[in-house]
């Protein structure tokens, strides 16, 4: 006998589109009541798409690649917190085995970070010189799920501050090579100096984007370049600045200034029409399972609550080419106690987390 899960809504199929109920049959969503004999269970509450962490790192911690057991723990923590689609924004670990696990979130990989030698965290990246960038991009595009991750800027110890890593002459053919391979390109960028060349070269997304200013905001807006601000990660800037103060005072002051204006930067980007998506930067030194905090941080920065919610649900899924709550879609969803458009804090404690049609956290009615 077929097992059916009845979602006794309301079901938020879009930011302003609500249907009263839905069903899950064989792991797929339907808005038509099943016919015939079936064994039914039900969940009652406000239904939203499973959340999207658009910037995290499965298979990575502060020291580099981790073992499979640690990667599993990271992905499980995200799942239980309601993040069911993860864009892994760079990892040295081979996590393709996750695709075989029905109980773990859907993972969209960007391959390994690509960085200049000695211009990023040790053990994280494939390190190449500019003349080798095209080949490195092709390698990482081949091991990814449609994304390539560049380290756009990092501290240059010779000048004692953040500086761009790649010349424009290297970026243009490298990003073109990624596009030819069917991959989009994103870049880690804290500072102001790397952004214009990346946009000129055809970048698709900027991570962190703390250096956006009056010059580069219209460039990103004009090209439709998205940003993933990772605001809960930017909260670490004052601590990093304090640790660097003695040796690199200019760098420390720069980080503090970027942190100070972080909310204004995100609000101005949103107002300029730049697409904004929610990502935590979990992995590295940040714990997984904090995506709801990032959504709240986007709202605190000035996004309307419904837009902050969409940045982690409807809009984010569409951006990554994954289904939301549509007929026949894989049933990846959250059930909440009330309408999250009115109170984003509800995302911090889902009544139930449903992944591939199975309740993975929470309880049946």
Residue 3 CA to residue 219 CA, distance in Å, equals 51
Residue 194, pLDDT > 60, answer yes
Percent of the chain with pLDDT over 90: 95
* Tokens linked to 259: 């942190």
Supply the DSSP string of 82-124, one letter for each residue.
TEEEEEE---SS--GGGGG-TTS-EEEE--SEEE-TTSS-TTT
Buried b / exposed e across 176-210, counting CB within 10 Å, b at 16+?
ebbbeeebbbbbbbbbbbbbebbbebbbbbbbbbb
Residue 143, pLDDT > 80, answer yes
- Same domain flag for 176 and 271: yes
Residue 310, pLDDT > 80, answer yes
Instruction: Report pLDDT digits (tens) over 80-109.
Output: 999 999 999 999 999 999 999 999 999 999
- Same domain flag for 180 and 292: yes
> What's the confidence (pLDDT) of residue 157?
96
Residue 309 CB partners (closer than 8 Å, separation 6+)? 15, 48, 295, 340, 341, 344, 347
- Same domain flag for 266 and 347: no
Instruction: Report pLDDT digits (tens) over 216-240.
Output: 999 999 999 999 999 999 999 999 9
Dihedrals φ, ψ of 354, to 5°? -115, 120
- Same domain flag for 70 and 39: no
Dihedrals φ, ψ of 243, to 5°? -70, -30
- Same domain flag for 347 and 211: no
| Count of domains forming the chain | 2
- Same domain flag for 89 and 104: yes
Q: pTM, whole model, 2 decimals? A: 0.97
Domain CATH for 137: 3.20.20.140
- Same domain flag for 69 and 213: yes
> What's the confidence (pLDDT) of residue 263?
98
> What's the confidence (pLDDT) of residue 218?
98
- Same domain flag for 255 and 347: no
Confidence of residue 264 (pLDDT cuts 50, 70, 90): very high
Residue 361, pLDDT > 90, answer no
* Mean predicted confidence (pLDDT) in 274-287: 96
Instruction: Report pLDDT digits (tens) over 335-346.
Output: 999 999 999 999
- Same domain flag for 192 and 310: yes
Asked if residue 305 lies in contact with residue 256, where contact means CB atoms within 8 angstroms, the answer is no
Residue 141 CB partners (closer than 8 Å, separation 6+)? 111, 148, 177, 178, 181, 182, 183
Residue 365, pLDDT > 70, answer no
Asked if residue 114 lies in contact with residue 90, where contact means CB atoms within 8 angstroms, the answer is no
- Where do the H-state alpha helices sit in 195-236? 195-201, 217-223, 231-234
Residue 99 CA to residue 212 CA, distance in Å, equals 36
Higher pLDDT, 38 or 186: 186
Domain CATH for 28: 2.30.40.10
* Cα-based distances in Å from 91 to 102, 143, 335, 351: 21, 11, 31, 31
- Same domain flag for 218 and 117: yes
Q: What's the distance, CA 124 to chain centroid? A: 18
Q: Is the peptide bond before 208 cis (omega within 30 degrees of 0)?
A: no
Residue 105 CA to residue 83 CA, distance in Å, equals 7
Residue 363, pLDDT > 70, answer no
> What's the confidence (pLDDT) of residue 364?
55
Domain that holds residue 17: 2-48+324-362
* Mean predicted confidence (pLDDT) in 125-142: 98
Spatial CA neighbour of 362 closest among 343, 336, 331: 336
- Same domain flag for 37 and 164: no
Q: In which region does residue 352 sit, left (phi positive, over 0), alpha (psi from -120 to 50) or beta (all else)?
A: beta
* Mean predicted confidence (pLDDT) in 58-71: 95
Residue 205 CA to residue 279 CA, distance in Å, equals 12
End residue of a domain, out of 319, 334, 352:
319
- Same domain flag for 334 and 185: no
């Amino acid at each position: 006998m077929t097992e059916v899960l009845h979602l006794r809504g309301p079901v938020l199929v879009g930011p302003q589109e609500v249907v009263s109920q839905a069903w899950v049959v064989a792991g797929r969503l339907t808005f038509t009541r099943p016919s015939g004999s079936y064994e039914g269970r039900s969940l009652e509450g406000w239904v939203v798409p499973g959340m999207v962490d658009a910037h995290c790192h499965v298979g990575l911690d502060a020291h580099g690649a981790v073992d499979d057991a640690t990667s599993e723990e990271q992905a499980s923590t995200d799942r239980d917190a309601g993040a069911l689609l993860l864009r892994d924004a760079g990892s040295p670990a081979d996590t393709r085995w996750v695709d075989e696990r029905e109980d773990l979130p859907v993972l969209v990989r960007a391959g390994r970070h690509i960085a200049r030698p000695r211009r990023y965290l040790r053990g994280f990246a494939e390190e190449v010189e500019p003349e080798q960038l095209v080949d490195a991009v092709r390698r990482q595009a081949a091991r990814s799920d449609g994304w390539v991750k560049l380290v756009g800027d990092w501290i240059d110890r010779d000048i004692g501050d953040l500086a761009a890593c790649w010349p424009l002459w290297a970026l243009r053919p490298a990003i073109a090579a990624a596009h030819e391979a069917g991959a989009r390109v994103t870049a880690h960028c804290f500072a102001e100096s790397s952004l214009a060349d990346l946009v000129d070269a055809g970048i698709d997304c900027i991570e962190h984007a703390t250096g956006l200013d009056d010059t580069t905001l219209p460039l990103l807006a004009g090209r439709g370049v998205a940003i993933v601000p990772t605001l809960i990660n930017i909260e670490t800037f004052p601590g990093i600045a304090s640790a660097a103060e003695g040796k690199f005072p200019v760098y420390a002051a720069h980080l503090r200034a970027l942190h100070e204006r972080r909310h204004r930067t995100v609000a101005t980007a949103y107002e300029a029409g730049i697409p904004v998506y929610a990502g935590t930067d979990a992995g590295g030194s940040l714990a997984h399972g904090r995506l709801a905090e990032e959504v709240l941080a986007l709202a605190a920065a000035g996004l309307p609550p419904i837009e902050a919610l969409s940045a982690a649900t409807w809009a984010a899924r569409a951006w990554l080419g994954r289904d939301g709550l549509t007929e026949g879609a894989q049933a990846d969803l959250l059930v909440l106690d009330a309408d999250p458009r009115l109170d984003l804090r509800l995302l911090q404690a889902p009544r139930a987390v449903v992944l591939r049609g199975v309740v993975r956290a929470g309880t049946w009615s």
